Every structure is written in structure tokens, then in C-alpha cells.
Amino acid sequence: MLPPSLLAASEDLVRIPYGAGSSSSEVATVDDVIAGAALLRREACARAAALRSGSASADESEQEAEESEDEQQQWLSLRVRRPAAAEVAGSIGGKLWDASLLMSAWLLENPSLLQPAGCRTPRVLEIGAGLGLVGLAVARALPDARITMSDYDPAVLRNLGESIRLNFAGAAPAAPAAALVDFRDFCEADVAALPHLPPASPLCRYEGLLGSFDVVIGSDIVYDHSHARIAALLRAMLRPAANGSADSHPCALFVLPDGRPRQADFVASLGAAGLRCRIERVGRDCLMCRRIAREHEGWGADASFSIYKVHRAAQQS
């Protein structure tokens, strides 16, 4: 029997900073990402040793300047329901992951990434939504967007529905929808057969969603060998690219912590599926990251992150 303290759900008020010009990134390869994560771990060990020896100290003047910057910073506040432990037993969907905070702030700063040219009502699918912070932030940034927040765990989805109600009850923006989407249902053979699926295909349960999204988003969703199937999901869920169009949509946008297992396999699976991937490493010292770290104690400690921009080739359909 779990103690009562673990059986009760709780609500958190999560603040996300945003403001033009506060983020920075540089183009990288997946090998750069993996090597950078290893270097960061070595640097973290060196800093810890310096702190133990007393040779490291904080720059108080820099800290005061940053606190002054924060006073003028804009913030988006969202209410997130943290589920009871019993609801998400065996699931990772009950934790607020660092990558979700970064992705929320990044999309608030760059909402145009979610909007195809001339489209006011883009369709956006979040996969592996968990607590739903990213999808909720997008819904606030783009009130006309049609957003579907998905996860594979029914208990996580129930909790997600509660978070949606907390933030959109009686509010002007249209509330996001919640849907069960399991990337393990997607394989290249079935995707290649679209739209003529065999009756037994698990993709039949996604009728109405297939080929309908302008953008797919996700944060910290790659860490297992089975996540290579996300490539098939993208081919199935993204709308066809218009021939000859200069628009960068349809696309997928992911924020992943550097150094997670299987990232190289994930990138390789995208290429094998005919998808193009551009990786941009986020500057750990950029203003946006510093602001998140000051607002959320322990955020990004000894970690770095990269943005994965995935595009569907125009010749695919």
C-alpha cells in the first residue's frame, strides 16, 4: 500500500520565460552532439572538484545583472497537474522533464516555426506529451492552432486531460485535444501501404489523424532502440509536402538532451525513411537557458540540449 502522500495528485504553477533574441544555437552533427555531451560530463567533474577544493566562486556582479534582466522578462504561467504515483506506475509521464521547459520557451520565442506560410490554423501533434507542458504552451502562443497532445499511456492521458481543463476552462483559446498515440504501432511496411491499409493494421485506429498534421513536436522522446519507429510515425502523420513549395512545412521539431542512448540510431532511421534532419545545439549560456535555470532550480544541471528539425521531402506522399 502506498502512503497517502503518494496517492494524492498535485497542481504546480510552471513559469516559462520568453522574449525575442534570448536563445542561440549552432548547426551540429549527431557525432558533435554525442562528443559534446561527453565533454560536458568531464567539465562537470572538473567543476565539482574545483568546488570541493574551494577554488571556484560565483561572479556576484554577473548574477545581479541577470536578476535585473529577469525583472523585465515576460513569463507564461501554466498550471500542470502532477499525477498520483499509483496513476502512472511504470510510466515516465509523471515528471516535468528539463527538455520540455526548454522546448516550451523556444517555441514561445519562435511561434512562426509552427505556422505554414499563409496558414492561421496549423495542425500540431505532440507525441510523448507526458505532463503536457509543451502542448499547453503552444496552445497559448497560437490560439488559432489545432493541437493534439498524445501519449501511449492511458493513465498519463487522463492526467493530461485534467491539465488541459485547468488551463482552458472558460478561456478564449480553443483547448487542445488529447489522444492515445503509440509510436510502436507504426512500421514502414504499413506506412508504405497508405492509404490502402490491411484491416488488421494498427494504423487503422488512427483514421482521421493520418496525413493531417503540419507539425509534429516532442521533447526528450529518444532514448530506446524502439524509438527508431518515430520516423515511420512522422511519414504517416505529416501531411504531404506540396510539390515545388518553398515552405518549410510539413516538419517535425524535437528538443533532446545530448548524450541519450540511441540518438545516432534515431537520426539514421530518419534518413532511411527519406526524411531530412538538421541538428542545432542550443547555447547553454544563452539568456533563455540562464533564465530557465534561475526559475527552476537544478534545471539543466550538467546537461546540454539540441534541436532536431526534421522535414518531409517533397517527393514523398
Separation between Cα atoms, residue 127 and residue 124, nearest integer Å: 10
In percent, the amount of the chain with pLDDT more than 70 equals: 76
Condensed to tens digits (0 to 9), the pLDDT of residues 211-232 reads 999 999 999 999 887 888 999 9
Q: Which residues pair with 218 in a beta bridge?
A: 254
**Domains of the chain, residue spans:** 4-9+16-109+120-312
Exposed / middle / buried, residue 309 (Cβ in 10 Å: 0-12, 13-18, 19+): middle
Whether the pLDDT of residue 149 is over 90: the answer is yes
For residue 103, the model assigns a pLDDT of: 96
Of 31 and 220, more confident: 220
pTM reported for the whole predicted model: 0.85
- Residue range 4-9+16-109+120-312 forms a domain whose CATH class is alpha beta
What pLDDT, in 10s, does the model give residues 55-80? 555 455 555 555 555 556 788 999 99
For residues 16 and 225, the model is more confident at 16
- Share above pLDDT 90 across residues of the chain, in percent, rounded to a whole number: 52
pLDDT at position 3 is 44
